[in-house]
A and B are shown apart, each in its own frame.
Chain A
């Protein structure tokens, strides 16, 4: 549904915004962040294939930490940041200044302090990305307070992560904290109206660029 030029532009935008978010995370944990090239797709949630390698992290069986930030008005959607629970624990420890780069399974229980830190970190990262979309579109976005959840995912219920979402544009990217196995995924789902606003703005810029 996206032309090559639109896809290229959107990928570039997401790349820059995620890069800024990664830089913020790098400042918090004092570690280099390795980013993957973002992948941008316009798809129906019902068409998401759990067997697709890109969804491996969040459709793998086990506990998952998920933070979400809902935003609204003219540009509407929900952004998700997800980590396997034990990796979320490592990230929380690093934010609290503990030099734990791996964690034993029996130590991976997330305490209230960890959840508070992870919520704050997620909020900073997701705001950095979504806020830039607002700046790009010259629209004021209103945020709903971020939610955090610990989910248990089994192979039989892969749709648990997206079951209540009706959005169709999926932008996903992953990042890796150097010297650790912490790998998270950011996924942004947008409503159809928001996709139209975004495409209109991009088309206008592309037309300007081509005279």
Chain B
């Protein structure tokens, strides 16, 4: 399984990488620092899953999601964002996502994230 983590905080990137590697040791993980890098990595790495933040420099997660959905309806995307606005959530849900979690990534939310990946992975 190939996972792409798009996140501008190095601290959160490391947490996510460790979390996913611990639960899916066979997974191949790559990281990107913003939406622009994330989109490039998506094209080259062709991940099965993407977890992305929304508010990031250069290109936001929402813009990256929109660009990806123009060419790919299949790749699973999970949002991990500090933005708690209902409108934001509705907008990204309309673009097609597998899950939306609000930061901070607590133990409970980390378990939810892993479950989301497991469910989606087994559905493939």
Contact = CB atoms under 8 A, between A and B. Distances in A.
Interface in B1-29: 9-12
A36 to B, nearest CB: 22
A113 B88 contact: no
A141 B85 contact: yes
Interface string A111-135: 0010011011101100110011011
B9 A119 contact: yes
A113 B103 CA distance: 19
A127 B10 contact: no
Interface residues of A, number: 24
Interface of A: 24, 27-28, 95-96, 113, 116-117, 119-121, 123-124, 127-128, 131-132, 134-135, 139-141, 143, 145
A139 B104 CA distance: 23
Contacts of B12: 120
Nearest to B34: A145
Contacts of B106: 27
A188 to B, nearest CB: 15
A116 B11 CA distance: 7
A45 to B, nearest CB: 27
Q: Is the interface of A mostly helix, strand, loop or mixed?
A: helix
Contact of B84 (A113, A127, A145): A127
B82 A127 contact: yes
Contact of B9 (A120, A140, A141, A143): A120
Interface of B: 9-12, 55-57, 82-88, 103-104, 106
Nearest to A125: B82
Contacts of A141: 85
B57 A145 contact: yes
Contacts of B85: 131, 134-135, 140-141
B84 A132 contact: yes
A143 B55 contact: yes
| Residue in B10, B57, B85 whose Cβ sees the most chain A Cβ within 10 Å | B85
Contacts of A24: 103-104
B98 to A, nearest CB: 22
B101 to A, nearest CB: 12
A113 B83 CA distance: 23
Nearest to A27: B106
A135 B10 CA distance: 29
Contact of A124 (B10, B86, B87, B104): B104
Nearest to B82: A127
B87 A134 contact: yes
B83 A143 contact: yes
B111 to A, nearest CB: 14
